[in-house]
C-alpha cells in the first residue's frame, strides 16, 4: 500500500515538473544553462566558385588541404589570394576555404574594411546581394567581383536535436554569453539549423579578441 502511494507521488511529481517546465518554456522563461556551446573563431577568408579558381590559379586547379575546419566537409586550403579595393588598398595572404561553392564570397573583419576603405554589410554566408565590390588576385589572374565582400554575421550552427535541446528555432536571433571574467554578451546571434552541422558559435577574430576567447572557449544562450 505504501509502495503504491509512493509510486503515485512519484508520477504526480513528474507530471507537475513537466507541466511547470512546459509553462516556463512557452513563456520564454527557460533558465540559463551551463556554458556548453563551443566558440569557433575565423580569420578573414575567401570562398570561390570553380570558374573563379580557374581564373585565379589556372584551369582545373585543385585546392590542397591544410586541415579540416569547423563544419563537416569544410577545409582550410594552402592557397592564398590578395585582395584589393577600388581605393587601391590591399590585403595579402587571405586563405581560400574549400570546398568550392556556387558563389564567390569574401569574409572580412571590420578592421579589414577600414584597411581597404570599404564599409562592409553584416550578412549571413550566402547573402551577398548588394554587398561590397572587391578584386581578388591569384598567381594566374585577377577577378573583379561586383559584389561579395561582407562581414559575417555571428551565428550558431546546430542540428534539429540541438535546437530542441536549446529551445530555439532556425533564424531566431538570440543573446549569447561567452564564458570567463572578460567574457562578452553578443546580441543578434542567428541560429542556423541544419542536420549536417556541428554545434558551434561562429565569430570573427576581432569579436573573439574582444570577448577574450583563447583556446577552447564555451558560450551559452541567454534566455529571457
Ligand atoms: Zn559558420
Going by pLDDT thresholds of 50, 70 and 90, the confidence category of residue 67 is very high
Can you tell me the distance from the alpha carbon of 188 to that of 87, in angstroms, rounded to the nearest whole number? 31
CA–CA–CA angle 147, 85, 65 (5° rounding): 75
Assigned domain for 66 exists: yes
Mean pLDDT score of the chain: 91
207: in domain: no
Spacing, Cα 109 to ligand 1 middle (Å) = 14
Are 138 and 98 contained in the same domain? yes
Query: Ligand 1 centroid to 16 CA: how many Å?
Result: 39
Q: Do 54 and 14 belong to one domain?
A: no
* Same-domain pairing of 12 and 110: no
Separation CA 119–CA 150 (nearest Å):
9
| Together in a domain, 11 and 84 | no
Identify the pLDDT of residue 91. 98
Whether residue 141 sits in one domain with residue 65: yes
Q: 22 C-alpha to center of ligand 1: Å?
A: 31
Cα of 14 vs centre of ligand 1, distance in Å, is: 38
CA of 157 to the centre of ligand 1 (A): 6
pLDDT bucket at 224, cuts 50 / 70 / 90: confident
Whole-number pLDDT of residue 73: 94
Is the same domain home to 86 and 59? yes
- Of all residues in the chain, the percent with pLDDT exceeding 90 is 82
The answer to the question of residue 10 being in a domain is yes
Tell me, what's the pLDDT at 155? 98
Is 17 found in the same domain as 55? no
**213 — pLDDT class (breaks 50, 70, 90):** very high
pTM, 2 dp = 0.83
Nearest to 132, CA basis, from 121, 143, 144: 121
Indicate the residue among 97, 128, 152 that finishes a domain.
152
Rounded distance from Cα 41 to ligand 1 centre (Å): 9
Alpha-carbon distances of 149 from 45, 116, 161, 209, rounded to whole Å = 10, 11, 33, 22
Tell me the per-residue pLDDT of 31-43, one tens digit each, with 9 for 90 and over.
Answer: 678 999 999 999 9
For β-strands 90-98 and 45-47, DSSP reports them as parallel
| Domain presence at residue 76 | yes
Q: Is the separation of the CB atoms in 77 and 63 below 8 Å?
A: yes
In a domain, 205, yes or no: no
Residue 86 lies in a domain: yes
Residues 50 and 94 in one domain: yes
The answer to whether residues 1 and 59 belong to one domain is no
Q: What is the pLDDT of residue 29?
A: 47
Residue 35: inside a domain: no
Q: Are 87 and 57 contacting, i.e. CB atoms less than 8 angstroms apart?
A: no
pLDDT in tens, 85-144: 999 999 999 999 999 999 999 999 999 999 999 999 999 999 999 999 999 999 999 999
Last residue of a domain, one of 152, 171, 199: 152
Our count of domains for the chain comes to: 2
The three state secondary structure string of the chain is CHHHHHHHHHHHHHHHHHHHHHHHHHCCCCCCCCCCEEEEEECCEEECCHHHHHHHHCCCCCCCEEEECCCCCCEEEEEEEEEECCCCCEEEEEEEEECCCCCCEEECCHHHHHHHCCCCCEECCCCCCCCEEEEEECCCCEEEEEEEEEEECCEEEECHHHHHHHCCCCCCEEEEEECCCCCCEEEEEEEEECCCCCCEEEEEHHHHHHCCCCCCCEEEEECC
Q: Domain end: 152, 182, 211, which one?
A: 152
Closest C-alpha among 170, 157, 94, 155 to residue 124: 155
pLDDT of residue 33: 83
| Same domain? 128 vs 71 | yes
69-83: pLDDT as tens digits: 989 999 999 999 999
Q: Is residue 201 one of the residues assigned to a domain?
A: no
| pLDDT value of residue 32 | 76
Average pLDDT over residues 149-171: 97
The pLDDT of residue 149: 98
- Return the percentage of the chain with pLDDT > 70, whole number: 89
pLDDT value of residue 58? 98
Q: Please check whether residues 145 and 62 belong to one and the same domain.
A: yes
Report the separation in Å between the CA atom of 204 and the middle of ligand 1, taken as the mean of its atom positions: 10
Q: Which domain holds residue 66?
A: 43-152
- On whether both 2 and 57 belong to a single domain, the answer is no
Amino acid at each position: 500500500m505504501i509502495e503504491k502511494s509512493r509510486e503515485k507521488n512519484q508520477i504526480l511529481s513528474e507530471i507537475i515538473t513537466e507541466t511547470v517546465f512546459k509553462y516556463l518554456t512557452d513563456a520564454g522563461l527557460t533558465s540559463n544553462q551551463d556554458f556548453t556551446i563551443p566558440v569557433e573563431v575565423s580569420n578573414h577568408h575567401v570562398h570561390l566558385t570553380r570558374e573563379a579558381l580557374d581564373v585565379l590559379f589556372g584551369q582545373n586547379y585543385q585546392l590542397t588541404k591544410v586541415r579540416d575546419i569547423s563544419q563537416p566537409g569544410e577545409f582550410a586550403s594552402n592557397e592564398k589570394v590578395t585582395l584589393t579595393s577600388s581605393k587601391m588598398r590591399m590585403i595579402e595572404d587571405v586563405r581560400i576555404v574549400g570546398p568550392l561553392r556556387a558563389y564567390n564570397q569574401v569574409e572580412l573583419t571590420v578592421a579589414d574594411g577600414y584597411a581597404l576603405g570599404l564599409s562592409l554589410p553584416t550578412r549571413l554566408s550566402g547573402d551577398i546581394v548588394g554587398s561590397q565590390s572587391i578584386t581578388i588576385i591569384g598567381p594566374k589572374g585577377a577577378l573583379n567581383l561586383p559584389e561579395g565582400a561582407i562581414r559575417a554575421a555571428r551565428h550558431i550552427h546546430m542540428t534539429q536535436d540541438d535546437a530542441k535541446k536549446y529551445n530555439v528555432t532556425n533564424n531566431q536571433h538570440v543573446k549569447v554569453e561567452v564564458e570567463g571574467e572578460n567574457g562578452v554578451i553578443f546580441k543578434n546571434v542567428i541560429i542556423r539549423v541544419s542536420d549536417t552541422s556541428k554545434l558551434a558559435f561562429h565569430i570573427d577574430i576581432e569579436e573573439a579578441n574582444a570577448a577574450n576567447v583563447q583556446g577552447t572557449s564555451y558560450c551559452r544562450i541567454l534566455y529571457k
